[in-house]
Structure 1
């Protein structure tokens, strides 16, 4: 495979020039903003939740990697776009199983590997403008929200995951129609994919950070001193 081959997959890009996708490139800073906002919340919550911090760093790298891809636009640069996204998806899936459902590491890791295998198979299906590969992640969000909803102490997390799933579904729709609307709207819809996904990642990070203390076990809560 020629890693230097140009990628011309988006309406906005009409040449292989570095700045041929200014809107697609600049909207990636929404991910950096989402990461910065999550970092502020992380610090306010004590700054000791290192799994969440790792996902915050990955979120920032999603923005940086996608910016590089939408400027250099080669097959090699595409790796800087897709790898951080994959790390976030699988990392958050594992964190959700551990933090929201209290699964031990072994079964949580096994389920994450199975989820990764399903997601990889989905990427081989050529349909929906390449959006099929993200459908397992959307399904996981919806299923997690549904499973957590009946649990009173998990209701806030369930609501956050449900909202993230709804926004993600909308962003997937815009990603899917990007090529189809090129003749009528040359800028395309990929910019909305970036901005809406930044909102999705912010909601997921916020849910994880807040759940780290708010959803502690009764034993842990009993050990914490109460206000006078």
Structure 2
């Protein structure tokens, strides 16, 4: 595999130059801003997630400037790490599972991402972002399981799933709307994703604060 081969998959990119995607590139600052904003009040796993969120911004910046295979890896790997880390944190914090069971839950969720991605890839309109659509579905499942145990958390997760769904719509419309919107819509995926990931960390933090308050 040629790790330096150019990749052109977004509406905004019209050449292989570094600044061919200025809007897509600079909107990655949203991830960094949100990560830095949440960092001071974050503790433990929340701080880890903030660090990963910061890395998502850097990795996506690299991809939308260099647009090569190695940069694509720098873009997608931090996103996958964030998802699986959050699932582990949710298993531990929201369900109170042991480390071993929580890790098993992460493996099951990873399998769901693989199987769900294959399913969505067969659905018209969903195939463009097939690997991501299982994520909001999985979040909604967690929300449903927690609706009685932790209703506030369940509502927070449902809101996160809704924001991510909107974000995925913009990601999927990038090429279909390219003729009408030369910049495409991928930049909105960055903005809404930054909000969504920051919100998911906030849900964790609010649950921690509430548990401390209840212990008194």
User: Structures share a fold, TM > 0.5?
Assistant: yes
Query: Residue in 2 aligned with 1:33?
Result: 33
Question: How big is each residue's C-alpha offset from its partner over 1:175-210, in whole Å with a ceiling of 9 and x where there is no partner?
Answer: 111111111111111011000000101110111122
Q: In structure 2, the residue corresponding to 1:162 is in which secondary structure?
A: helix
TM-score (norm. length: structure 2)? 0.92
Query: Residue in 2 aligned with 1:131?
Result: 129
Supply the RMSD in Å over aligned alpha carbons.
1.8
Query: Residue in 2 aligned with 1:77?
Result: 71
Query: Residue in 1 aligned with 2:151?
Result: 155
Q: Matches of residues 131-210 of structure 1 in structure 2 within 5 Å?
A: 131-151=129-149, 154-210=150-206
How many Å apart are 1:159 and its aligned residue?
1.8
Q: In structure 2, the residue corresponding to 1:133 is in which secondary structure?
A: coil
* Structure 1 gap segments, 5+ residues each: 43-48
**Higher mean Cα deviation, 97-106 or 118-127?**
118-127
State how far apart, in whole Å, the 2-side matches of 1:131 and 1:15 are: 23
Query: Residue in 2 aligned with 1:53?
Result: 47
Residues paired across the two proteins, number: 212
Mapped pair 1:63 → 2:57: yes
**Higher mean Cα deviation, 101-110 or 75-84?**
101-110
**Higher mean Cα deviation, 25-34 or 124-133?**
124-133
* Structure 2 gap segments, 5+ residues each: none
How many Å apart are 1:141 and its aligned residue?
1.1
Higher relative contact order (CA 8 A, sep 6+): 1
State how far apart, in whole Å, the 2-side matches of 1:122 and 1:4 are: 30
Question: How big is each residue's C-alpha offset from its partner over 1:83-123, in whole Å with a ceiling of 9 and x where there is no partner?
Answer: 00000000001111110111112221112112112313445
Q: In structure 1, the residue corresponding to 2:18 is in which secondary structure?
A: coil
Question: How big is each residue's C-alpha offset from its partner over 1:144-170, in whole Å with a ceiling of 9 and x where there is no partner?
Answer: 12222223xx22222211111111001
State how far apart, in whole Å, the 1-side matches of 2:181 and 2:127 are: 17
How many Å apart are 1:217 and its aligned residue?
10
Contact 2:117 2:134 in 1 (8 A): no
**Higher mean Cα deviation, 105-114 or 14-23?**
105-114
State how far apart, in whole Å, the 1-side matches of 2:6 and 2:57 are: 20
TM-score (norm. length: structure 1)? 0.87
Query: Residue in 2 aligned with 1:45?
Result: none
State how far apart, in whole Å, the 1-side matches of 2:15 and 2:197 are: 31
Contact 1:129 1:175 in 2 (8 A): no
Instruction: Tell which structure's C-alpha radius of gyration is larger.
Output: 1
How many Å apart are 1:68 and its aligned residue?
0.8
